[in-house]
Amino acid sequence: MYQRPDGKWCGQVYVLTTDGTEKRKTVYGKTADEVRAKIDDMKIKSRRGVPTADRPWKVGEYLDYWLNEVARNSIRKTTYAKYETMVRLYLKPGLGRKKLDRLTVADVQTFLNGKLNGEHSIGTIHVMRNVLSAALSRAMREEILSRNVARLATLPANESKRNQPWSADEARTFLQAARFDPLYPAFVLLLVYGLRRGETLGLRWMDLDFDEGQIHIRQQLVRVGKELHQAPVKTRAGNRSLPMVGVVREALEIQRAGQKILKDRAGESWTETGLVFTTKSGRPIEPRNLARSFARMIDAEGLRPIRVHDLRHTAASLLKKLRVAPRDAMEILGHSRISVTMEIYTHGDEESRQNAITKVGDLFE
């Protein structure tokens, strides 16, 4: 230990570091006692086998390392793209210059509060914290940090807005209106099985077994940056097989015949992807274009507006009304947890509330 000309105290000690070797580390303080306490603390941790970071990481540097060396190889491309965006646009500009081992709960809370007062949705801010928390958890596993301060910061609850799903009559009216639309078969799959948009557009002809009457959901179409990719379904539960019911078989046979005509017209300009739903040249359909076609037909028919994803909720609510067991509905919809299915099954609707109140009223008549 020694005192520098500027009056600050300095101390050095050899300790175990995260790369498995002993290195000399330097600590600073306003007084000799402060430096001595820091040295004693580092020596105690070293004797217990708790290593000290082998380099003075800054938050931005560690986020870059975590993205490139850890996250890139362990998460889906779509998830990685979302994480990279959060790091580049928000976390690095806001917290990147701070020292990783000195990042505090107050630092994170102040950063998040600043975003709450801006133009960002609460959902986006929750993603920011989750990404930072994932990186700090990795730093804990690498024994660079002893706690995850992102987990200790608080945010308002992220209450997602869910549109009321269509009734059976509304869904039937829509399909009748969409009967001659090129994407009619896709809308049938979305409503009958509650498929996700990416699962529908990622469906391949090899996934259809017309002889056995089975549809095998194995992959999805996802956008990563500027490119569309065919990727495995999100979860093991999403990998499922569904019976090819009559209305679906009819729609898929229409699609098969229509695609053959398109292929003959395109000739050598046709791009073979093996997908059931394609553009006129055989390329994958942009998911946003499916949503645009859906919105356009709703507007033209004067139907109550909902999102494409709400067709999945419509399918789930219809399963509920038909008294399909929650476990069966879970497998049809490809939910990974029964709690997700039960949330939909226990979510009341106007018709069920009316019936319930009517039954209570009948007791007193």
Higher pLDDT, 356 or 283: 283
Assess whether pLDDT exceeds 70 at residue 84.
Answer: yes
Does pLDDT of 60 surpass 70?
yes
Residue 171: predicted pLDDT: 94
Give 95's pLDDT tier (boundaries 50, 70, 90).
very high
pLDDT band at 105 (very low <50, low <70, confident <90, very high): very high
- Residue 62 burial class via C-beta count within 10 angstroms: exposed 0-12, middle 13-18, buried 19 and up: buried
Reduce the DSSP state of residue 83 to 3 states and report it.
Answer: helix
Is it the case that residue 18 has pLDDT exceeding 70? Answer: no
pLDDT of 147 strictly over 70: yes
pLDDT at 352: 67
Tokens standing for residue 168: 């059976």
Predicted confidence at residue 248, as pLDDT, reads 95
Q: Using CA atoms, how far apart are residues 138 and 128, in angstroms rounded to an integer?
A: 16
pLDDT for 280:
94
Q: Flag whether pLDDT at 264 surpasses 90.
A: yes
Compute the average pLDDT of residues 184-193.
Answer: 96
What tens digit of pLDDT does each residue of 307-316 get?
Answer: 999 999 999 9
Residue 113, pLDDT score: 93
Provide the percentage of residues in the chain whose pLDDT is more than 90.
62
What are the pLDDT digits (tens) for 316-345? Answer: 989 988 889 989 999 999 998 888 888 777
Q: Is the pLDDT of residue 159 over 90?
A: no
Among candidates 273, 280, 157, which has minimal Cα distance to 219?
A: 273
pLDDT of residue 236: 85
Give the mean pLDDT of 290-296.
94
Tokens 């292929």: give the residue.
263
User: What percent of the chain lies above the pLDDT cut of 70?
Assistant: 93
User: What number is the average pLDDT over the span 261-284?
Assistant: 94
Greatest pairwise CA separation for the chain in angstroms: 94
pTM: 0.71
| Average pLDDT of the chain to the nearest whole number | 89
Domains of the chain are 2-42 (no CATH), 59-152 (1.10.150.130), 169-306 (1.10.443.10)
Which position has the token pair 């992959």?
219
Residue 162 or 270, more confident: 270
Tell me the C-alpha distance between 65 and 51, whole Å.
19
Dihedral sign computed on CA atoms, order 206, 207, 209, 210: negative
Please, are residues 345 and 338 in contact by the beta-carbon 8 Å criterion?
A: no
pLDDT of 93 > 80? The answer is yes
Distance of CA 132 to the CA centre of its chain: 15
The pLDDT value given to residue 243: 95
The CB density around residue 344, as the number of other CB atoms within 10 Å, is 22
Q: Is the pLDDT score of 54 beyond 90?
A: no
The two tokens of residue 224 are 């990563």
- Residue 234 scores a pLDDT above 90: no
Distance separating alpha carbons of residues 59 and 99, to the nearest angstrom? 6
Better-scored residue on pLDDT, 349 or 312: 312
Range from 44-58, 177-191, 219-233, 258-272 carrying the lowest mean pLDDT: 44-58
Whether the per-residue pLDDT at 362 is higher than 80: the answer is no
Give phi and psi for 153, each to the nearest 5: -75, 150
Higher pLDDT, 116 or 16: 116
